[in-house]
Amino acid sequence: MVLIYNGTPIASEISYAKNIFSQMLGLMLHKSIPEDFALIFVLRRAGTVGVHMFFMVFPIDVIFLDADKKIIETATLKPWTGYKRMKGVKYIIEMNPGTVERFNLIPGEQLTF
């Protein structure tokens, strides 16, 4: 599986968080992630979600997608202090910091995976 933006692969190592336990855990307790890694949260239905950075030791880029996999918003969150809440979210993607800027990910554009 590959995460693609505007025809460009942006992650080739993908994990999915599909159940409540894996979604609560997210990337907590990881010391780092590979450069081309993405953790994709697949929520049961679109809604309001919050992402926190408790027990994280490195910053991450977070991409919030709607049910059509269009980008709603992006954020770079810092360990322990970062928090972001969004409405209408069906998918959340956590990646290394700088990914959003490097690939110029902008709201309204679509990702495929």
- pLDDT tens per residue across span 79-102: 999 999 999 999 999 999 999 999
Identify residue 5 by its one-letter amino acid code.
Y
Residue 37 C-beta-side C-alpha neighbours within 13 Å: 13
Residue spans of the domains in the chain: they are 3-112
Give the model's confidence band at 1: pLDDT under 50 very low, under 70 low, under 90 confident, else very high: confident
Q: Which residues, including other chains, have CB under 8 Å from residue 71's CB and lie 6 or more apart? A: 63, 64, 65, 105, 106, 107, 108, 109, 110, 111
- Residue pLDDT, tens place only, 17-65: 999 999 988 999 899 999 999 999 999 999 999 999 999 999 999 999 9
| One CATH from 3.30.2130.30, 2.60.120.1140, 3.40.50.300, 1.10.10.10 for 3-112 | 2.60.120.1140
